[in-house]
Amino acid sequence: MCCKHAPYSTEIAARRAYSSAMSAKSKPTPKTQPQTDWKRVVELVQCSRAMDAIEEQHLVPAKKIFYQFSARGHDMAQVLLGLHLTHPKDAICGYYRSRPILLSLGVALEDALGSAMGRAGGYSDGRDIGVVFNYPNANGASALPMCGGVGAQYTPTAGYAQAIEYHKNVLGDRAYDGAISVVLGGDASVATNGFWAALTMATTLKLPMLFYVEDNGYGISTPGWLQTPGCNIAANLASFQGLKVLDGDGADPEEAAYLIREAVSHTRAGRGPVLLHLAVPRLQGHSFQDTQAYKSKATVEAEWARDPLPKLKAHVVPSLLSAADWEALEAAAKERVERAARIADQRPVSEPTQVTRFVFSEDGVLQDEGGLWNTGYAAPRASTEPKPEGARINMITAIRRTLDHELAVNPRMVVFGEDVGPKGGVHGVTLGLQEKYGDGRVFDTSLSEEGIIGRAVGMAIAGLMPVPEIQFRKYADPACEQINDCGTMRWRTANRFAAPMVVRMPVGFFKCGDPWHSQTNEVQFVHAPGWRVACPSNAEDAVGLLRTALRGNDPVMFLEHRNMLDAASARRPYPGDDFALPFGVAKRVREGGDISVIAWGAMVERCEAAAEKAGISADIIDLRTLAPWDSEAVLASVRRTHRCFIVHEDIGTAGFGAEIAAVVADQAFLDLDAPVVRLTMPDIPSPHHPDLMEWALPSVERIAAKMQDLVRF
């Protein structure tokens, strides 16, 4: 019934009729329904209202809060939901209008208000806006770190739900029995890729996940008919396989309480995912600055007529509380909030010099939640000295053998991605691993890179070591939001949460090129704070760096160059099951005194061949990792040879070679006898035909010629 011509009240009536039809056969009588602590509901809703009021009337005008989002209208149903999340392994992930559910989980009022003010402590130590929350909760359900992007909360929540099943079914941890994963989103968010990726995961895998969609009819100013056909995602998904759908009025206390109980009990009983769609009014603008001029007077009046607060009062007074009790709870909530605001206002701004901390993990300061190290995991003994075993093997075999060993010694490690199971990956790296470890630990995923990385985030927060594969570098683009959010998690939560993982990703050219399978663009990941980036050029280094990454406490982008996977020059004997290399330590692969050559990945091989061809005494440095990168080794080499030549496969403009050149110019300028020179791809995608590709790539001949020119300078 909902369309762009239908009045808001007609839409609500249609939803309620749909809800009644869906639940009429199974709805129990009030006597058989579990009891709701309505007094607690009133207390929390009144606190939420008082917080909105003090922010709008005092803190925003005083410029003590810069971003403010009212939860009026959404508050009652959120509180009802939050009071059901009592399992210590439950988790939720919300969005910018989800503060009421945080209050129901036990977040201190002064922390919530202090976070809104950007003060020290709270959710982020002032690093993130106050409505972007997180809550590591040792006494109950945790609130996973939410993100600023709409819809970004869905796939990590699905990953956490899958981790619940992994803990129960693979690790045999009965502490997770009955735990659920809950995601909150507005009606506009159901148009995002993340929503559909998470829905696919939850339904195909029968995950204990509750999708809680609170529909206020608008995405900022965009009406629902432009977001969802028919304005009702529940009606559209009524026949979706493997999904229980509930729909109703989130402003009606009895109906909302019943539907929330139904949704939670269904999910907690292990009967699969639930989508609960509740219509709620948004009683203020999208944010404090939003005047809602796009709404008619009649629409605004219809929304206020649906305010759940008076409906809540009518539900509990006088049947459960007296009018005096109600007024006393309202006054107490106002007093508590005013006191909390004073406490929050007395908190200082965090020390600015500390804002650079926690981009990466720090020794002796473990995050509150997330990662292997929080589970008591102790890595086996490691050595930086290789112990060569047997014949030389290619990088494919070396990586597979490393994954195999780490799967064997770490039951919390999982390997997944598109086609990594029976097929063994499109490059054959995971061949045989599913057969050996089972499809609970090595498994295929649906075709959604956002879903792959997002699920890895949730798994990592739940204490697993996820090893997702992205088939080709270009395919990572749809996952960039999740990649960036994962990298910043530790920093933006001030070390409360982290999501260590290892993303395996083939990059670069092979027998031919093309714009879709042959991209490198490693600089994009280096420019994403919080990610460590490895780019080995041979089998031995691949083993050492991968093992360090798999046992570490930070997210790692592990780039496997396609041309080196089976290259003869990249073959090395297997260096042993305890071989691990530190990040940020370059390797001198050829000693010389005429020129310093800096490279990584497939270009290392070409630089060695070029030095041989040119007859030049070249000091060739293989960086091996780009984040962090070994600037000390580069500078030491340049100060010996007085010349610096950088070769990389990525395009020249803003490529990583520019960073190296800038550091050399800044810190070793007086040591140089010639300009710093780069040789890169031109600023074009990788051409497809081998002749065109080789023309674009730094070739052995061109590298050798540049070396000679620079030595003669």
Catalytic machinery residues: 517
Give yes or no for a contact between 250 and 277, defined as CB atoms under 8 angstroms apart.
no
Cβ partners under 8 Å of residue 550, min gap 6: 402, 406, 410, 413, 465, 467, 502
- What is the chain's alpha carbon radius of gyration, rounded to the nearest angstrom? 28
| Rounded-to-integer distance, Cα 346 and Cα 339, Å | 11
Where b means 16+ CB within 10 Å and e means fewer, 115-143 reads bbbbbbbbbbbbbbbbbbbbbbbeebbbb
Q: How far is CA 204 from CA 444, 488, 497, in A?
A: 12, 30, 28
Say which residues have a Cβ less than 8 Å from residue 36's Cβ, sequence separation at least 6: 80, 83, 257
Supply the DSSP string of 439-508, one letter for each residue. Answer: TTTEEE--S-HHHHHHHHHHHHHTT-EEEEE-SSGGGGGGGHHHHHHHHHHHHHTTTSB----EEEEEES
259: Cα within 13 Å, side-chain hemisphere:
34
Report d(CA 46, CA 100) in Å as an integer.
10
Closest of 485, 476, 565 to residue 522, by C-alpha: 476
Q: By the 8 A CB rule, do 596 and 637 touch?
A: yes
Closest CA to 547 of 574, 515, 510, 511: 574
What Å distances lie between residue 4 and 11, 62, 221, 277, CA to CA? 10, 39, 13, 20
Classify strands 618-622 and 587-590 as parallel, antiparallel or unpaired.
Answer: antiparallel
Residue 646's contacts (CB-CB under 8 Å, 6 or more residues apart) are: 597, 598, 599, 657, 660, 661, 676, 677, 678, 679
The rounded Cα 256 to chain-centroid distance in angstroms is: 31
Structure tokens at 545: 């760096």
| Adjacent-strand bridge partners of 442 | 415
**Is 207 within 8 Å of 181 (Cβ atoms)?**
yes
With tokens 């990649």, the residue in question is 483
Query: Closest Cα to residue 128, out of 106, 109, 147?
Result: 147
- CA–CA dist 697, 29 (Å, integer): 73
Q: How many CB atoms lie within 10 A of CB 635?
A: 19
Q: What are phi and psi of 250, to 5 degrees?
A: -80, -5
d(CA 114, CA 119): 5
Q: 250 and 41 in contact (C-beta within 8 Å)?
A: no
Number of helices (H) and strands (E), helices first, in the chain? 23, 22
Question: 647 - beta bridge partners?
Answer: 679
**Residues 143, 461 contacting (CB under 8 angstroms):** no
Secondary structure E strands in 125-220: 142-143, 181-186, 209-215, 218-219
What's the per-residue H, E or C state across 375-427?
A: HCCCCCCCECCCCCEEEEECHHHHHHHHHHHHHHHCCCEEEEECCCCCCCCCC
Spatial distance between the Cα atoms of 213 and 276, rounded to a whole number of angstroms:
6
